[in-house]
Each structure stands twice: as C-alpha cells, then as structure tokens.
Amino acid sequence: MLLHAWIDAYLSHLAVERSLAKNTLDAYAQDLGALARHVGDVEPAAITDAHIASLLAANAASGFGASSSARQLSGLRGFFRFLVRERVIEADPTELIDRPKLGSRLPKALSFADVERLLAAPNLSTANGVRDAAMIQLMYASGLRVTELVTLRLRDLDMQRGVVTPVGKGDKARLVPVGEVALQHLATYLETVRPGLARPNAHWLFLSRCGGRLGRQTFWKIIRKYARIAAIAAPISPHKLRHSFATHLLRGGADLRAVQAMLGHANLGTTEIYTHTTSDHVRTSHAKSHPRA
C-alpha cells in the first residue's frame, strides 16, 4: 500500500476506534494531505526526517505560524506511530524533529463597551436580527464555542431553569447558566421567529432561512457583519466573544473553578491563562488610581 491508502486507513482508524469528531478528522486529513502533496504517493518507508523538515520549512516560508506547524507535526507523529504499530515502517521519521517553539500568547478580549455595541447591533424588527441577537447574546452569556452554539438542540435549552447543556470536546456535555437578558432574547426568537423557519421534526435550536442547521462559517459571517455595524475596530471572531465572557467574569470576581466548568476546560491550567489578562487589568487600574503608583 502507498501513502494515500495508508492515510485513508489511519483516518478510518481515528473515526472508528477513537470516535473523533468530524472537525478533528478534517484537520488530520488536511495535515496528512499536505504531506502527501509534498512527498508524492510513495511507500511510507521512503519518507525520512528530511522530508518532514522540508515540509515544515515550506510551511514557514508560506506564512504558517508556530502553532499551526506544531499542530501539523503532532498530527504527523500520530500517523507515523500508527504505521510503526502496524509494522509498515520500522522507525518514526518525526521522532528527531523538534517541535516549533510557541510564544505565550494571551487571549484577547473585547472591551465591555465593544461587547455592548455588538449586542445592540442586530435589527430586532427583522426575523434574522431576532435570531442573530439570540445567538450572540447566548454566546456571550454562556461562553460557548461556535460549534457548541450551532449544534444546540431544542432540548439542550431549559428556559425554566435558565440553563443550556452544550456538548463540548470529547462529546462531553456540561450545564451552563444563561443570564436573564439572553433568556429574553431566546424567548422572543422561540416565540416569533423559529416557528416560521422550522421544518417538521426540526430539532436544532438555531435555524437557517431554509430551516436547516446554521454552519460555523455562517455564524463567523454574522459576527463580522455586526462588528462592522457596531464600528468595532479590533479583529473579531466567535472565539473572541468566548474569551470576553471568561475575562469579564473573572474581572467581576467569579471563581476560577466555576469559570473552568462553564467553559468546559478539562484542565484548570487552560482557564488560568485568563487570570493573566485580569491581572493586567488590575495593574492598569492600580497605576491610574494609586497616588504612589
């Protein structure tokens, strides 16, 4: 078997044996496809560490960042370790390749004023505006990932208790509270807009004009549209709204463990990165306010 066939076998292994999500499988397929384009459809045993190094160098020359290269190298390592276990190759050619050094980039949050303008941007006299406002309000109120938001089902929202149950990474569900303002927008959407969009037995919470599930890219476009309307100069993405949720909670005095649970982070260390941004806020306030600062 040549490289392309082994890549297909590996992706099938990840899908069946490890039950990885489609987005994760797509990322692996993209990284392995880049390798196949770089070396050709050769026998896996013909691939050396020099091929891997030249692929990473080509990526860097084309503008790949360190985090993208590190992610790709991690995916390639998993593939070649699979080939070693299958006794297709004797040694992993990525073993001697150093992982690109990553800088300690802190998540950037929107200011509270920017968030306020973004939340106020949708036109509530239109059906799309009501739906979009409900989505943006919910994302900021609950810190959902964009995939979690667009894959919410009707049954995942409990209006009586004021909670939502998104399914996060590793198919793990968690319970997240929803604020009163977001609940009001959701109630308006559910009562006045969604019934006109829904097909029979439609179970997604947020629906497109055709009655199907909204896609991730569609929500990206929605966020950017309202950022332009709100005249927000800073670059914006759905994930930045999630960063803003966590940062504003911690600045308001929320417990770190509670924020971890709401974000769905398996490791507290992932949530702790937000304490650096809140510390910067505290230092700035101190510098402006203390007479001896």
Bridge partners, 173 (sequence order): 167
Look up residue 46 and give its DSSP letter: G
Longest dimension (CA), the chain: 73
Residue 155 CA to residue 165 CA, distance in Å, equals 9
Residues in CB range of 6: below 8 A, 6 or more apart: 44, 83, 88
Q: Which of 280, 274, 283 is closest to 255 using CA atoms?
A: 274
* N-term to C-term CA, the chain: 68
13, 38, 239, 251: which is the annotated catalytic residue? 239
**Catalytic residue chosen out of the listed positions 71, 169, 224, 281:** 169
Question: Of the listed 10, 28, 131, 145, which one is catalytic?
Answer: 145
Number of Cβ within a 10 Å radius of residue 17: 8
Q: Nearest CA to 144 among 219, 93, 224?
A: 219
Task: Give catalytic status of residue 274 as yes or no.
Answer: yes
Q: How far apart are CA 61 and CA 1, in angstroms?
A: 31
The yes-or-no answer on residue 265 being catalytic is: yes
DSSP conformational letter for 230: T
Q: Which of 250, 221, 251, 214 is nearest to 236 (CA)?
A: 221
Given 131, 185, 242, 243, the catalytic residue: 242
Which residue reads 């790949």 in tokens?
64
169 is catalytic: yes
* Catalytically annotated residue among 10, 140, 189, 274: 274
> What's the CA gap between 131 and 137, in Å, rounded?
10
Q: Mind telling me the catalytic residues? A: 145, 169, 239, 242, 265, 274
